[in-house]
Amino acid sequence: MSAINRRDLLKYSLAGGGAALALRTGIAGQLGCDSCSTSGGVVAGSTLTSSSGLSSPPMRQWVDALPIAQDASEYSNGAAGYNPPFDVMETLGRDWWATNKAASYPLVNGLAHQRYNEFPAQRWYQIDVKDTLWKFHTDLVTPAPMFAYCGVNGPSIPGPIIRARYGEPIMVRINNLLSKNHFGVGVPETATHLHNLHSPCESDGFPGDFVTPGNYRDQHYPMIRAGYDQYGAGANGGGDFRESLGTLWYHDHRFNFTSQNVYKGLFGFFNAFDEYDCNDETGTLFPQTNLRLPSGKYDIMLAFNDPQFDNSGNIFFNVFDTDGHLGDRVAVNGKIWPFLNVERRKYRFRLLDAGPSRWYQFWLSKGLPKAGVNSWLPMAVIGNDGNLFENPVKLNSVMMGVANRYDVVIDFSQYNAGDTLYLVNRAEQISGRGPTYNVMDPGVPVLKFIVQGTTPAADPSMPWFSFANFPASGVSMRPLPRPTALELSTAVQRSFNFNRANGGWTVNSKLADISVPTVSPKQGTCEIWSITNSSASWSHPVHIHFEEFQILSRNGVPPAPYEVCRKDVLQLGPNETVRCFFRFRDFLGHYVMHCHNVVHEDHAMMIRWDIVK
């Protein structure tokens, strides 16, 4: 690609003149957004707009330490840990389903879970869901009443992390212990979606399949790679090794209440590892293939969400605002303005926009950013939506819609003890409808890194990588299973036109309705979905469950390098059309496609699609 990329051209055409182009290239790309599907201008800005009009009370910056995800509770004695016991015939849990499961979920070969005999669980977890009180900041006097997933240390926001391995199927019991008589925002009913594991539909957290208080649901995660039926069984989950997923998260998906329940705290982390992404930077595991990505305490999930506080420190949510929720504070792993002490070495940060509606554009600044001052540092971005790129991509910023993930490697070895770096959100957004695509200057710092150590720390990670030699030649982190010419020529083509009529969402001019499938792809086939946003003033992060897709073209041109990958959340800006390639494999049943601005989702911006024989 030439020095002027697609973004510049788009911007050039939007600006209708050379001034913007000169600005963009003249400052070596430092001011514009190099990871946005649409690009605006640079505007002054150092605060976040709230959608409620409220202002949060003052809080000191950088006084709370960044919380690191706790472990999920795993039973060392396997299935025997479950009480009531696990029964493969009854695995959908006690509830309406316990007496009516045959009507609700037809059994397949006598099993409630598809293909359970092929992928019997080897690891057994339980995640309780409880009411809790959570302090988003030391300076807030009153803790907020929240919902939370529980790990080994009890409730936390975000919830605990599960680190899974391909080839080791797991069962997770989601145990709803919320108070039935809950009062206020949120409903005490849970449908847990593991975004975007290759899991059978009955364990996917379909929005209508929620569990009421006092009941549980056992969700089966086979930990196989997509393409299992084509490539067959094998080590590390079999299937197509190029289809491994890495950075995932789980969150509530209760029909029509997803935004309220996620805002109330129901989201957590899930990482998957295989023979390339090994959770072992020393290279002991899988020495032939191990990419030796930073691991252990140097591999950190960062979830961003934006609570709004009133003057008394209570957190607010306007259930009558259908555009979306914007809070004026950003919590990182459940704390506002946290700091993290870092050693002088490489870290892997897995960034997640946990919503409900805010888009972020993260930049890395040496020292606190100041208006008009170029303190921005390039980042090595190794994955998008949880999936490793073929090669790291060097970016000044990453633009994230709700549920997008970016895996970023930051090397602190070149800094000195006491140096500070900041992760800065520069996306301007003034309503829930979507970002303006303007870049705020200097933006809003949300996380502070404080460098420790008089000498660089030991760092066995990524010996093949250096910024001086970028990208590293001869290393392919994860080859991309590109569509073949045959697949492209035989793919079923479908169009989805997302529009709005009378305040409701329409798909191809019909009101979105998940009681029936809108489309039903055949198992074992591939399709090209052309997804269009007909509105000029809305942006939608569109999420497709179960199968990852590859972008063939965005507005008629090939995708930029940071979108040449497998994805599960499509940034669909105003008036954009994106063509996406899918393969539908391995399991049957009902899944959904929806806007991951979960306020839009809760107002029916969702369709159901089924995989059929």
Partner 1 sequence: MMNRRGFFASLAAAAAAPAAIVLSRKSASAGIVHAVGEGKHNIPNVLVTDQDGKTYHFYDDLVKGKTVMFNFFYADCTGICPRQTSALLKIQAMLSDRVGKDIFIYSVSLKPEIDKPKHLKEYAAMHGIKPNSGWLLLNARRKDMETLRERLGFKDSDPVLDADINQHTGILRFGSDVWDRWSGYPLLGKAETIAEMIRQLDPDYVKKPLFDHPAR
Give the footprint of partner 1 on residues 259-318 (CB under 8 A).
263-264, 310-312, 314-318
Beta strands in 7-137 (DSSP E): 42-45, 64-65, 73-74, 123-134
Q: Helix, strand or coil for residue 97?
A: helix
Q: How many residues line the site for partner 1 (CB under 8 A)?
A: 72
Element (H, E) at 392: strand 387-395
Strands 192-195 and 123-134: unpaired
Q: Which of 16, 53, 110, 232 binds partner 1 (CB under 8 A)?
A: 53
Other CB atoms within a 10 A radius of the CB of residue 186 amount to 25
| C-beta closer to partner 1: residue 208 or 481 | 208
Closest to partner 1 by CB, 181 or 493: 181
Nearer to partner 1, 54 or 480 (CB): 54
CA angle 193, 195, 199 (to 5 degrees): 75
Provide the residue type at 510 as one letter: K
CA dist., res. 242 & res. 265, Å (int) = 33
Partnered with residue 519 across adjacent β-strands are: 609
Applying the rule CB under 8 A, the residues between 95 and 124 that interact with partner 1 are 96-97, 100, 104-106, 108, 114
| Contacts with partner 1, 572-601, as mask; x by CB under 8 A | ----------------xxx-----------
Residue 132 CB neighbours (<10 A): 20
Q: Which of residues 366-425 bind partner 1 (CB under 8 A)?
A: none
Question: Minimum distance from CB of 565 to partner 1 (Å)?
Answer: 31
Q: Which one, 253 or 348, has the nearer CB to partner 1? A: 253
Binders of partner 1 in range 184-223 (CB under 8 A): 184-189, 206-210, 212
> Counting contacts by CB under 8 A, is residue 139 touching partner 1?
no
User: CB–CB of 271/166 below 8 Å?
Assistant: no
Structure tokens at 268: 């957590």
Which of 52, 375, 452, 525 lies at the binding interface for partner 1 (CB under 8 A)?
Answer: 52
Q: Does 321 bind partner 1 (CB under 8 A)?
A: yes
Reference 592, options 609, 611, 613, 567; nearest CA is: 609
For partner 1, the binding residues in 144-163 under the rule CB under 8 A are 144-146
Minimum distance between the CB of residue 310 and partner 1, rounded to whole angstroms?
Answer: 7
Binding to partner 1 by CB under 8 A, coded x per residue (else -) over 61-100, reads -----------------------------------xx--x
DSSP 484: P
- Tokens in use for 558? 């090939």
Q: In the complex with partner 1, which residue's Cβ is closer, 72 or 599? A: 599
Residue type, 451: V
- Choose which of 165, 478, 554, 603 interacts with partner 1 (CB under 8 A): 603
How far apart are the C-alpha atoms of 331 and 86, rounded to whole Å?
37
For residue 555, how many other CB atoms are within 10 A of its CB? 14
Q: How far is the CB of 307 from partner 1 (least distance, A)?
A: 9
User: For residue 9, what are its two tokens?
Assistant: 């051209």
Q: How far apart are CA 550 and CA 484, in angstroms?
A: 12
Q: Is 435 in the site for partner 1 (CB under 8 A)?
A: no
If binding is defined by CB under 8 A, does position 180 make contact with partner 1?
Answer: yes
Dihedral sign, CA of 237, 202, 163, 424?
A: positive
SS3 109: coil
Contacts of partner 1 in 527-546 (CB under 8 A): 537
Nearest to 282 by CA among 465, 460, 458: 460
Nearer Cβ to partner 1 (185/565): 185
Write down the least CB distance from residue 216 to partner 1, Å.
15
Per CB under 8 A, which of residues 485..514 are in contact with partner 1?
501-505, 511-514
Q: How far is the CB of 511 from partner 1 (least distance, A)?
A: 5
Nearer to partner 1 by Cβ, of 322 and 577: the residue is: 322
Is residue 10 within the footprint of partner 1 (CB under 8 A)?
no
| 519 lies in the site for partner 1, by CB under 8 A | no
Site for partner 1 in 228-257 (CB under 8 A): 255-257
Applying CB under 8 A, does 54 fall inside the site for partner 1?
yes
CB of 542 to partner 1, least distance (A): 19
Distance CA 154, CA 133 (A): 12
